[in-house]
Structure 1
């Protein structure tokens, strides 16, 4: 790794016991990983590695509200005190951060891909913490390199992020860029966007989605009464796919619950409904990697968005345990 890589900083938090594992919290069990060295660890049932992407250069280029570069630290702070109920099924690791503080997003995305590939090759499941949604390009490339094929994408997002690359990529172009990569490599491009807002996407973007075979479920069509139908749509999308890369842009959520995002959404989705859909994706057994993007602490009153995202991560890990245990019966 190069100078963009920062080693993990130990987390701190409440300590109820230093000997009773049943009283431990996440900050007591998360182990550091140095990506400058070979990754070695004793494997357990589920091995998860966090990696931050401290960038909002893509958001800046997309004329959004900057601040997401500090998102990984904010999320980690909220995760630190979660009870370590995942033991003994899960080991948690932290590989630190890839940074972008000089405007060279392309190099940062390349380094992110290298880091993701190395972590996957070692046999760890990655949960990436953003950072702007430009995290998706580097994350996808790293997964694709480790799998030697393009994973299918599910994106919870108010935006399709299929904008054309005029000069440089941004936080609004990634899935257009990924489509080009798949075309160049003659691989299938599979993309489902859940929660797209009609007021946040031009007709040109919907036309682009239709042209390249991208699928989308509009936010206005997602409600309690339509939940079973939405879950069926997602299940139908997943059933013939080998691997699912799940990316969550925090702006898919209602501003009442997630004010600290790069592009606030007054009519965003209900967090609990999004979580139930995420769990259904995990229970498919096909999830290969996950990231959560665009938590922006400077706009995050009472750290509400970071707390919500940290709860999502806690729930994701518990759902992975449930899926693994059910699979073994």
Structure 2
């Protein structure tokens, strides 16, 4: 079975409109194995799905996130857009995990991310488990120069720094990235926003401190603490050349995101997440982004899928104004 497939074009539907008012009317389908991404006169955004929940299964989470990319697209399709005619949005299809071969899917994902970046597109990836981050990062790494520093900003309840001694899963991607890119030192540019004490054991906190991971705990990651959050993000971004943004939906409170692999009422709210996204985008260093762990099986009235769509909508429109 091919590990890459185009998106079913029937997903891109919405309210009938004579003018180009809605996202579904703006999106163009593209098959990266047959076509190159056309060079746009303005910003180019490229959506790609990662249909894989093998990492979640290995991590003993609730499976179902492989259906996330298609569900998110359906909600994004319905939203109005406010983009100029030279701004392009392409749907570049999906990388598919066949059987339990997550590592192969991550490898293919990395190739596609590099391909998108080579044609000056901004990848916007849809998961799938948070193991998407390992393939995503490697695709960015192959694109940038060796002396350029990639900073990772992760909106998440978890560090995802678990050792992969017993195998890779959705909780190991940043451990893998750190140990494979250490250059003799495990001090790597990684900022986590929304970390919870009840979601990470003491070994993970110790590892984060040892590796000089920057983080803001959930009780400090809220709208009343906006200035602190903005300052921490800006301090981090000043030290890197590019920012890879990854959003794990289980970082949000289940009041906003019930349809995830590891839901909790103790997560953060949408308002502070938007402050963080706006701050990151304003640095003009965002090179790529993904949203992980959408699990439609446990969603309520597509609430979490709609959150994903609105987050993507926010990113696209903020970046388009730069």
2:126 counterpart of 1:110: no
- On the 8 A contact 2:37/2:116 being kept in 1, the answer is no
Q: Measure the CA separation in 2 of the matches of 1:188 and 1:42.
A: 37
Q: Measure the CA separation in 1 of the matches of 2:303 and 2:252.
A: 12
In the superposition, relative to structure 1, how do residues 89 and 218 fare at CA in structure 2: closer, same or farther (>3 Å)? farther
In the superposition, relative to structure 1, how do residues 304 and 142 fare at CA in structure 2: closer, same or farther (>3 Å)? same
Measured after TM superposition, the shift of residue 195 of structure 1 is: 0.4
Q: Measure the CA separation in 1 of the matches of 2:262 and 2:226.
A: 25
- On the 8 A contact 1:4/1:99 being kept in 2, the answer is yes
Q: Which residue matches 1:59?
A: 56
Measured after TM superposition, the shift of residue 215 of structure 1 is: 1.2
Deviations 1:43-93 (A, max 9, x none): 121000000000010000000111100000110000011113112252000
- On the 8 A contact 1:249/1:292 being kept in 2, the answer is yes
- On the 8 A contact 2:56/2:129 being kept in 1, the answer is yes
Structure 2 portions without partners, runs of 5+: none
Measured after TM superposition, the shift of residue 188 of structure 1 is: 6.4
Q: Measure the CA separation in 1 of the matches of 2:231 and 2:273.
A: 14
2:250 counterpart of 1:243: no
Q: Measure the CA separation in 2 of the matches of 1:121 and 1:12.
A: 26
Q: Which residue matches 1:285?
A: 284
Q: Which residue matches 1:69?
A: 66
Q: Measure the CA separation in 2 of the matches of 1:301 and 1:68.
A: 15
What does 1:133-282 align with in structure 2 at a 5 Å threshold?
Answer: 133-149=130-146, 150-184=149-183, 189-282=188-281
Q: Normalised by the size of structure 2, how large is the TM-score? A: 0.95
Q: Which residue matches 1:101?
A: 98
Q: Measure the CA separation in 2 of the matches of 1:175 and 1:209.
A: 11
Where do 4+ consecutive residues of structure 1 move more than 6 Å?
Answer: 185-188
Q: Which residue matches 1:327?
A: none
SS in 2 for 1:275: helix
Q: Measure the CA separation in 2 of the matches of 1:43 and 1:15.
A: 26
SS in 2 for 1:34: coil
- On the 8 A contact 1:182/1:188 being kept in 2, the answer is no
Aligned residues: 319
Q: Measure the CA separation in 2 of the matches of 1:172 and 1:47.
A: 31
In the superposition, relative to structure 1, how do residues 61 and 184 fare at CA in structure 2: closer, same or farther (>3 Å)? farther
Q: Which residue matches 1:39?
A: 36
Q: Measure the CA separation in 1 of the matches of 2:185 and 2:95.
A: 29
SS in 1 for 2:125: strand
Q: Which residue matches 2:294?
A: 295
Measured after TM superposition, the shift of residue 269 of structure 1 is: 0.3
Q: Measure the CA separation in 1 of the matches of 2:91 and 2:6.
A: 9
In the superposition, relative to structure 1, how do residues 185 and 72 fare at CA in structure 2: closer, same or farther (>3 Å)? farther
Q: Measure the CA separation in 2 of the matches of 1:124 and 1:304.
A: 29
Measured after TM superposition, the shift of residue 14 of structure 1 is: 2.8
SS in 1 for 2:89: strand
SS in 1 for 2:68: helix
Q: Normalised by the size of structure 1, how large is the TM-score? A: 0.93
For the aligned residue pairs, the C-alpha RMSD in angstroms reads 1.6
Q: Which residue matches 1:12?
A: 12
Q: Measure the CA separation in 2 of the matches of 1:217 and 1:15.
A: 40
SS in 2 for 1:226: helix
- On the 8 A contact 1:89/1:321 being kept in 2, the answer is no
Q: Measure the CA separation in 2 of the matches of 1:14 and 1:241.
A: 40
